[in-house]
């Protein structure tokens, strides 16, 4: 069944009672890991927020995601990361969905926002294990180059 473009099947593996953060989710780069952990923790906390308080917390989450994505994209620009365009498109798709749900949430209909919150961990875990893993390799490569005194190499 599909509701507002979202499947209503519950992704049991990602229903949250605690954070999804684990050593397996870690990329080993604090500038990526710290925002990821904070975001996954916030998603877990949002599950228990009352409907009366959900709107404000949802808006705070969306602002945090926007900020984290902006910082991650700036980091990719700084290292001339070749996957920037594709990575940015994935960020934009997610933000589009969050903004779509935000309109309903701000009008007092929290159901769509709650459904988005249920699906986000699955998206983030996949995103971290694919897109952000590629970024972490590029950052490690850059750090090794700087350590060895090489500069100017571009990623292929």
Phi, psi (rounded to 5 degrees) for 2: -120, 135
- Which residue would you say has higher pLDDT here, 77 or 21? 77
Confidence of residue 151 (pLDDT cuts 50, 70, 90): low
Overall average pLDDT of the 121-136 stretch: 92
pLDDT for 111 beyond 90: yes
pTM of the model as a whole: 0.79
Sequence-ordered list of residues with C-beta below 8 angstroms from that of 65, at least 6 positions apart, any chain: 39, 94, 95, 98
Q: Which residue, chain included where needed, has tokens 């604090």? A: 30
**Is residue 112 scored above 80 in pLDDT?**
yes
pLDDT(13) > 60: no
Of residues 71, 81, 66, 67, the one with CA closest to residue 134? 81
């Amino acid at each position: 069944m599909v509701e507002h473009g979202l499947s209503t099947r519950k992704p049991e593996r990602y229903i949250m009672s605690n954070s999804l953060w684990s050593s397996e989710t870690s990329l080993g780069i604090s500038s990526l890991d710290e925002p990821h952990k904070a975001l996954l923790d916030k998603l877990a906390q949002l599950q228990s927020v009352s409907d009366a308080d959900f709107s404000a917390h949802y808006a705070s989450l969306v602002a945090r995601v926007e900020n984290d994505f902006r910082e991650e994209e700036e980091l990719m620009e700084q290292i001339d990361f070749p996957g920037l365009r594709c990575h940015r498109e994935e960020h934009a798709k997610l933000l589009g969905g969050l903004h779509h749900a935000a309109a309903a949430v701000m009008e007092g209909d929290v159901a769509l926002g709650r459904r988005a919150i249920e699906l986000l961990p699955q998206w983030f875990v996949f995103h971290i294990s694919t897109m952000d893993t590629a970024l972490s390799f590029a950052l490690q490569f850059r750090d090794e180059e700087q350590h060895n005194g090489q500069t100017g190499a571009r990623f292929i």
